[in-house]
Amino acid sequence: MSEPMSAIDQGVTAGSLQQRFREVRSFSERLVAHLAPEDLMVQSMPDASPAKWHLAHTTWFFETFLLSEFLPGYAPYDPEFRTVFNSYYKRLGKHPVRGTRGMFSRPTLDRVLAYRSHVNAAMDQLLASGVPENAEELVVLGLNHEQQHQELIVTDLKHAFWSQPLRPSFVEQSPSTERASGALQWTSFRGGEVEIGHTGSGFAFDNELPRHAFLLRPYHLANRLTTNREYLEFMHDGGYEKPELWLSDGWDAVQQNGWDAPFYWEQEGLGWQVFTASGTRPVALDEPVCHVSFYEADAFARWAGARLPLEGEWEQAAESLATKGNFAESGAFHPSPAPNSNGELAQMFGDLWEWTASPYLGYPGFVPAAGLVGEYNGKFMCNQFVLRGGSCATPQSHIRASYRNFFPPHARWQFMGIRLAADAR
């Protein structure tokens, strides 16, 4: 895990799909190869899933949507897996309640890995023989689906390890904290009528479509993510004790959950410690503040005399930038201090998902994909907010400027951070 992991190209060219399939699938197994079977069975909260389940469910996707439909004579590894590893596809029938996945001691990890090998071999056969265009689209969707679960493997295991008395490390590689973040600067944008959404080149989820006009007022965007140093100033100023800074539902969450710091922070004497993928250590002041909810991000922005960006503002700013940054391939699974960018936008991709002020809704003219895969995104367009940019647990080839992640406003266990925005005066 301490060695860099190779990235997968976003584009799929003729003859490359089979190789990309092999690389994405092997990446999932490399994430957990150093762990014990017991580690992969833990479900530390209902919102998380055991790593063993992630490995099986992503395999289920290829068996259910590709092999059963497009490979003549394909024999399922175990017909019961069609129900056991169904996540939420209602039209496929029953599925286990999400919060019970940690109870599945059977099938064993050995059988799950054998299931992956069985499906991989059949997929190799299917891809080698050539697939119709509609099947190729499903393969690419399945690979992007697996990359989403690769990020969840990391974040769910981090929560599982934090939940244990021994607080074990997920990785040995310690992130670098030597770099100092420069002073926050503002980048200005004229706004106006812009277009956002996927351009039509390469893969996109249905929630990134259709591309459409978006009217923006002139605005400023912070050149980097908010740091732990800046967030500590908010905390020391009583930020968690001032209801006027919080949305009503957010203030209720603070009171009910006893929030007084970001998730994974614990006070040690006069200072703060933070649990990371490589263990517990002192909070590094120049690192981006991480594991904050939408409510906390919004309250901090209000305290700072700013606001959170609209997703249209974020996308306009990011659209011309290269998707470079601190991604899962680094193997550290922790955000890094901002590089010296001379005032230019930095950390737009990787490091942390960035909360926006935009609710997760369908774009004008949005139509869910036809068939079963239409249940993938559209059914969740309620009570969620959009995040942009990817994180240190996101595979680099998985992200793009139009990518829309979404979580409920109280969620904190994902790698979530803050970038400030402000209206131009």
Q: What is the CATH number of the domain that holds 397?
A: 3.90.1580.10
Whether the CB-CB separation of 350 and 392 falls below 8 Å is answered with yes
Share of the chain above pLDDT 70, in %: 92
At 11, is the pLDDT very low, low, confident or very high (cuts 50, 70, 90)? very low
DSSP per position, 205-262: -GGG-S-EEEEE--EEEESSPPBHHHHHHHHHTTGGG-GGGS-HHHHHHHHHHT--S-
Q: State the SS3 of 33-88.
A: CCCCCCHHHCCCCCCCCCHHHHHHHHHHHHHHHHHHHHCCCCCCCCCCHHHHCCCC
Specify the residue for token string 């689209």.
Answer: 137
Same domain for 405 and 354? yes
Which helix (H) or strand (E) segment holds residue 124: the answer is: helix 109-128
Tell me whether strands 416-417 and 353-359 are parallel, antiparallel or unpaired: parallel
Same domain for 406 and 267? yes
Same domain for 348 and 212? yes
Question: What's the order of all strands across the beta sheet hosting 271-276?
Answer: 265-268, 271-276, 279-282
How many distinct structural domains can be found in the chain? Answer: 2
Domain housing 254: 186-423
User: What does the pLDDT read at residue 177?
Assistant: 61
Same domain for 219 and 143? no
Q: Is residue 9 part of a domain?
A: no
Q: Of 162, 195, 226, at which residue does a domain stop?
A: 162
Q: Is residue 8 part of a domain?
A: no
User: What does the pLDDT read at residue 224?
Assistant: 97
Q: Is residue 171 part of a domain?
A: no
Q: Is residue 177 part of a domain?
A: no
Mean pLDDT of the region 131-159: 95
User: What does the pLDDT read at residue 77?
Assistant: 96
Separation between Cα atoms, residue 384 and residue 366, nearest integer Å: 17
Same domain for 230 and 364? yes
Q: Is residue 12 part of a domain?
A: no
Question: What does pLDDT average to over the chain?
Answer: 92
CA nearest neighbour of 407 among 209, 215, 148, 195: 148
Same domain for 363 and 266? yes
User: What does the pLDDT read at residue 340?
Assistant: 85
Q: Is residue 172 part of a domain?
A: no
Axis crossing angle, helix 109-128 with helix 133-162, rounded to the nearest 10: 160
Q: Report pLDDT digits (tens) over 387-420.
A: 999 999 999 999 999 999 999 999 999 999 999 9
At 273, is the pLDDT very low, low, confident or very high (cuts 50, 70, 90)? very high
Same domain for 318 and 354? yes
State pTM to two decimals: 0.93
Residue 38: give its domain's CATH number. Answer: 1.20.120
Phi and psi at residue 289, to the nearest 5° = -65, 135
Same domain for 194 and 151? no
Q: Report pLDDT digits (tens) over 335-383.
A: 999 998 788 999 999 999 999 999 999 999 998 877 666 666 778 899 9
Same domain for 157 and 237? no
Same domain for 228 and 354? yes
Same domain for 216 and 342? yes
Same domain for 122 and 193? no
Whether the CB-CB separation of 151 and 394 falls below 8 Å is answered with yes
